[in-house]
Structure 1
Amino acid sequence: MELENLKVASDKVSFAQAVKKGLGQNQGLYFPTDLRPMTNIDALLAMPLVERSQAIIKHLVGDEMSPELLDELIHNAFNFPAPLVKVKDGIYCLELFHGPTLAFKDFGGRFMAQCLANISEGKPVTILTATSGDTGAAVAHAFYGIENIQVVILFPKNKISPLQEKLFTTLGGNIHTMAVEGDFDDCQQLVKTAFDDADVREGLHLNSANSINISRLLAQVCYYFEAIAQLPKEQQDKAVFAVPSGNFGNLTAGIIAKTLGLPIKRFIASTNANDTVPRYLVSGEWSPKPTVPTISNAMDVSQPNNWPRIEALVEKGYFDKALLTGESVDEDYTQVAMKQLQTLGYISEPHAAIGYRGLTRQLQEGEVGIFLGTAHPAKFRETVENVLGQPIHLPQALVDCASKASLNGELKADYQALKEYMFATLGAK
């Protein structure tokens, strides 16, 4: 698999190199130079999740890694289900929160950890990543205890839910967590700056576990196939996906799935008040505003990192931009959508509710709607209980960490402070 840097065309790498480097020169994202459609879609859809995912990843990666190794990595990563749950006639939720940290990012985080642990061959690696909520837990648990891999997670102080935070700030060991005085975009900029600093990049063998990393993105492609596979055959080519969107890795993966031949009709990018993309899709003008805090905090992103990959899919002729619309959902309508779902007998947290709102606003007659359930409602327990007026049962994973002390430090949104902290804590390897 050859990948190119979307900012520096001459910076071409293999899959293994892209996984190890994370980010290319000039903070450029790596992306496949060629995406060939798969020809056996019906046969794929008849397979179980793990077996199908093995076939998809092999198709994307090519012969760079042995089929036996890829089979093992995927089998170890995808050891939980992704059920398609009927909410009402013609509308389903793809529940992606049945993994160990109760969020969709378990798919990408676990696959990346498996890949990197294998590719690095025991050599020291430092994972530096920013999280608006769920990435932190998924990455922390995926890499926890892996020898020679240190993980530094930056998150915006007081801007993610307490239980989200506890899932990754209570581990310790090789997991180092820092609350940054700022928003997610500030955290993300610190990560990007570190990758441009040769002292840090080379001295600490830096890598990123955000959806910046191509291995995470490829893993996410697989659950779109799983969603379509669970639909009745006659509905499969009528499917419209509403994707709750923050950093836009999830939507990018869905568009790649369609490029491979999966019969998805179109997509809706549902955002909260941080509506850079919905406005852009209407006006053609890219004009990020300052990030606004919302109850769907994992999507509080004004400058989505993965958007250049979607633009590349359009520019290379893989995807028709007319098949993507946007929908911005404010705080009031987010809560309305949560209550509407409750009336239907389905308990949801704010992010999935935003997907549902986008879907119901734009779904047309004859279409089948799928919105992505990106996190378990209990991860946003306070918000869900306040909005719905009913108690939420805590899954065991949250019970186990809720009473533990957070081990995070605090940091100003200042790159020099981050650099000093990393060298003081990790040292040059």
Structure 2
Amino acid sequence: MQLSNIKVPAEQVSFLQAVRQGLGQQQGLFFPTSWPKLDIEALLAMPMVERSAAILKALIGDELSAAEVGEMVAKAFTFAAPLAPVTDDISCLELFHGPTLAFKDFGGRFMAQALAKAQGGRKTTIVTATSGDTGAAVAHAFYKQPGVQVVILFPKGKISPLQEKLFTTLGENITTLAVEGDFDQCQALVKQVFDHKALVEKLSINSANSINISRLFAQICYYFEAVAQVPAEKRSQVVIAVPSGNFGNLTAGLIAKALGLPIKRMVAATNVNDTVPRYWRSGQWQPKPTVATLSNAMDVAAPNNWPRVEALLAQGMIARSDIETSMVDEDDTVLGVRLLSQLGYVSEPHAAVAYKALKRSLQDGEYGIFLGTAHPAKFKEQVENILGTPLALPEALARCAAEQGLSIDIPADFAVLQQELLKLEQR
């Protein structure tokens, strides 16, 4: 499959080229201009790994064999994505059963496999920004992978302590930089890196954010897994609510719908960083300064994946009516966590945002799914404060909670970041 740069359509690359580059000219995102035809019913009858391999092979095309894609998926998707019932007509798609207890494990682990194919043994440096879960997923996916250095930027003091410990305690080939600023400033620094062509070439720099097409493609697969678990008689009435920050997750769901998966509509649920809901109403793209919230991984004022949503609309693959947007404030987020607990389901602020947006949207006869993007224990302090009851730590978090963080504090200054990157040459 050929992929086109959304900003510079003349730049056409293959899947593995896009994986290797990350971003195109003028920081453009790579995206398909045509889509495969899929046998949806046959796919929904398959086990998750087999189905995911078939979907990804169709998206990637002939560049990789079915056996190669199957092996990559089998190595990446070693955990389940169960649909947990909350009420008769609402379930949570639990995407936090991977090694770092967050949905980013799907994309991060598949990208590690794809980049190994794309690099062909050549050294590479991954520079990525995280608002929470990306950092851990990418760090663990590439930890000790030969020929790969990983540099993760995160906003100092603006992600949960347990989220931070999951990726700042590893060391080895993982460098973590605590930036004095917010996520948007971290993301801006990453973009500056990609604008510095000499630096990119010198260190063979790539990115592992959802801007990398391999991560986005991997995320499509768990939407199929969600619908496969819905009773057949309810599949025509599925509404899915997505907690949305950088909008890669929503984009993946919209692609799944465009490929034919029976999703009635997608609900893009944001916190008070509501650039997209305001844009959807007014037609004016007006990011405001980022506000810190309980759902901190969604504290993104200028979501980088939104141009891909616009591309799907322009291609006619989705309609405006396929998307509903909803802003959930802090009071409603707290209420969402409490309501879910009263229903016997312990959750966390990001999923609570999606749950509240879904409740607003859901009509009689519809079947609602909201995405559980992280284990509630990753937000132990917030959840315990809201519910007033202690929350046990799963083994993965308990193991790293007492370890020493190894991050380096830096200002939001490109010159300082460049110095840190150049130090990697000596490793």
**Structure-2-length-normalised TM-score:** 0.99
Match for 1:351: what amino acid? H
Q: How many Å apart are 1:36 and its aligned residue?
A: 2.6
Match of 1:11 in 2: 11
Superposition pairs of residues 21-60 of structure 1, within 5 angstroms: 21-38=21-38, 40-60=39-59
**2:361 maps to what in 1?**
362
> For residue 45 of structure 1, what is the amino acid of its counterpart?
L
String of CA shifts for 1:286-309, please: whole Å, max 9, x gaps. 111000000100000000000000
* AA matched with 1:30: F
User: After superposition, where does 1:66-85 map in structure 2 within 5 Å?
Assistant: 66-85=65-84
Contact persistence 1:163–1:402 (CA under 8 A): yes
- Give matches, 1:25-424, under 5 Å: 25-38=25-38, 40-424=39-423
The residue type paired with residue 372 of structure 2 is: G
Distance 1:23 1:419 in 2: 18
Q: Decide whether the 8 Å contact of 1:248 with 1:306 is kept in 2.
A: yes
SS in 1 for 2:264: strand
- More deviation, 118-127/368-377: 118-127
Conserved? CA contact 1:107–1:220, under 8 Å: yes
Change (3 A) 1:392 1:426: farther
Structure 1 residue identity aligned to 2:177: M
Letter in 2 for 1:140: A
Distance 2:398 2:9 in 1: 48
What is the CA distance between 1:424 and its match in structure 2?
2.1
**d(CA) in 1 for partners of 2:44 and 2:65?**
23
Amino acid at match of 2:409: E
Deviations 1:138-170 (A, max 9, x none): 000000000010000000000000000000000
Measured in 2, the distance between the counterparts of 1:21 and 1:93 equals 35
What is the alpha-carbon distance in structure 1 between the residues aligned to residue 213 and residue 361 of structure 2? 31
Contact kept, 8 Å, 1:37 with 1:259, in 2: the verdict is no
Cα distance in 2 for partners of 1:314, 1:110 equals 29
The structural deviation recorded for 1:67 is 1.1
- Deviation digits for residues 58-107 of structure 1 (CA, Å, limit 9, x no counterpart): 11001111111111000000010000011001001000000000000000
RMSD over aligned Cα atoms = 0.8
* 2:37 partner letter: P
**Distance of 1:404 and 1:230 partners within structure 2:** 38
Runs (4+) off by over 4 Å = none
Is contact 2:235–2:262 with CA below 8 Å preserved after alignment?
Answer: yes
The answer as to whether partners of 2:96 and 2:103 remain within 8 angstroms in 1 is yes
Q: Distance in 1 between matches of 2:170 and 2:419?
A: 22
**Alpha-carbon separation, structure 1, partners of 2:289 and 2:204:** 32
Retained in 1: the 8 A contact 2:158–2:292?
Answer: yes
How many residue pairs match? The answer is 427
Q: Give distance in 1, aligned partners of 2:324 and 2:103.
A: 22
Q: TM-score, normalised by structure 1?
A: 0.99
3-state DSSP of counterpart to 1:391: coil
Structure 2 regions of 5+ residues with no counterpart? none
Contact 1:132 1:160 in 2 (8 A): yes
Q: Secondary structure at the match of 1:310?
A: helix
Does the 8 Å contact 2:16/2:117 carry over to 1?
no
Identity of aligned residues (%): 63
Following superposition, the deviation at residue 129 of structure 1 comes to: 0.2
In structure 2, the residue matched to 1:425 is 424
